[in-house]
Amino acid sequence: MSTTSLKIGLVSISDRASAGVYQDQGIPALQEWFGAALSSQWQVETRLIADERAVIEQTLIELVDQEHCHLVLTTGGTGPARRDVTPEATLAVATKEMPGFGEQMRQISLQFVPTAILSRQVAVIRESTDHAALILNLPGQPKSIKETLEGLKDADGKQKVSGIFAAVPYCIDLIGGPYIETNEAVCKAFRPKSAIKPSNA
């Protein structure tokens, strides 16, 4: 298992934000969330790009193959509109599909809006000879990003619906990435007992 710190690629996909028409909200929201959620070391590479399939594919390949990110998160471009091509670009660079992530993201969003079924978010693993990364498509709105990653809690703070990030650290373990530790008040990582390291290891 790798002992290097987690490297995260954050990609905001928006024609208007990349053209400077309005301020991107996806990357700041993700950086803030990771700042609160991760207790182990991490570093970040960010990209703000247009809804162009070739550009999205090229960016994902660069972040995994050249920048050696272990985890890449995209926001935007996952709906049914003609310009929404993030899932197609993500699948095009994939070695393996991870359908459970998309299923759970829609399950979380359906607690709020019936239009969640229009979301086409996917998750994949991209592997090269000596490196692998998990790539996740997230929603574009900061509130939805937080809910998707953290899940939903009831009034007493008990987990009602699991967020997707609870499964990410163990997935990164399995593909040879660094051991990720989380702030349990924000998001408790789930691992089988045999995969848990002592916190001072």
Looking at residue 126, its pLDDT comes to 98
This model's pTM is above 0.85: yes
Burial class, 144, CB count within 10 angstroms (exposed 0-12 / middle 13-18 / buried 19+) = buried
> How many CB atoms lie under 10 A from the CB of residue 156?
6
pLDDT (tens digit, 9 = 90+) per residue, 120-131? 999 999 998 899
**Among candidates 40, 35, 44, which has minimal Cα distance to 68?**
44
Looking at residue 201, its pLDDT comes to 47
CATH 2.60.40.1730 assigned to domain 6-195? The reply is no
- List average pLDDT for each run of 10 residues in the chain, which is 201 residues long: 82 91 92 97 97 97 97 96 96 98 95 94 95 96 94 84 95 97 93 86 47
Cβ 134 vs Cβ 102: under 8 Å: no
